[in-house]
Amino acid sequence: MKKELHEANRHSWNAATVAHNSHKGDQAAFFRAGGSTLFPEETALLGDVNGLSVLHLQCNAGQDSLSIARRGARVTGVDISDEAIDFATRLSAESGVAARFERADVYDYFEAAAARGERHDIVFCSYGTLCWLSDLGAWARGVAQLLKPGGRFVIVEFHPFALVFDPQWKFHYDYFNAAPVPEEGVGDYVAESGDGLIAADSPMPGVQDFRNPHPSFEFTWGVGQVTTALAQAGLTIERFDEYPYTNGWKPFEGMRDLGGRRMAPPEGMPRIPLMYALAACRA
């Protein structure tokens, strides 16, 4: 586990989170009006969450956490970024949607939560979370440990095959890579995706030409590594689905909206897996 790189990522996410939320307008009003940031894939996999305890790992600024809470769940959101958790806490108070948020490195949270006997019906994470994990096995064991018997783990994630490309669809990154990948910092992917990642009616200009002053470090995990880690942690994989589109995110040039903010490659390009979803349960 590379905690010094986690700390570097914390600083990078603190800077990026301010830029991201600057484009999203009055999010409290959006939630007060009944809004939700969940896509159909998450809603279907989560199922009926009314009355259930849901742990949302790497929850970012809490928008999806509050969307789950609106459906009747008791939600705890955890994220490494101070800015993200501060924003999520304010958004919960201002929107009137109750949820609890805690700032912590996910591995530290696993240790503390296990020590106090914490258990949940569902552990959930989504969209760009696994690349920030330096120890996949420890993560999978932590997820399993915090599930009640019969509890479920649900993840919707960008497909690692898609992440071998640069923004111009040229092969650039190794799919099989055991070393941390240094980056210039978490970018403003919200601005780059335009209305793709804005659930409100119209995006706000917000921060312009954002450049992150803090470098970041990512980790590459293939589909086989993810499924194996969860299985070795004692979880039974119930389903695994792949999708030829991304929800909201436009990481590559020429991406087009298929409807419902499902972003696909340009016309004429062969379909490839850009996103996947997995559900697993604890016996």
User: What is the mean pLDDT, run by run of 10 residues, along the chain of 283 residues?
Assistant: 92 96 92 96 97 98 98 98 98 98 98 97 97 97 98 98 95 92 94 80 78 96 98 98 97 95 96 98 96
Determine the pLDDT at residue 8: 97
pLDDT tens per residue, range 1-30: 688 999 999 999 999 999 999 998 899 999
Determine the pLDDT at residue 154: 98
For the chain, domains (ranges, CATH) are 3-282 (3.40.50.150)
Which DSSP string do the residues of 87-113 spell out, in sequence order?
HHHHHHHHHT---EEEE--HHHHHHHH
| 21 Cβ contact partners less than 8 Å away, ≥ 6 residues apart | 27, 61, 87, 206
Nearest 10 degrees: CA dihedral of 224, 1, 81, 193? -30
pTM for the complete prediction? 0.95
Determine the pLDDT at residue 178: 87
pLDDT tens per residue, range 26-50: 999 999 999 999 999 999 999 999 9
CA dist 236 and 149 (Å) reads 12
Determine the pLDDT at residue 205: 80
- Residue whose C-alpha is closest to residue 121's, from 89, 148, 99: 148
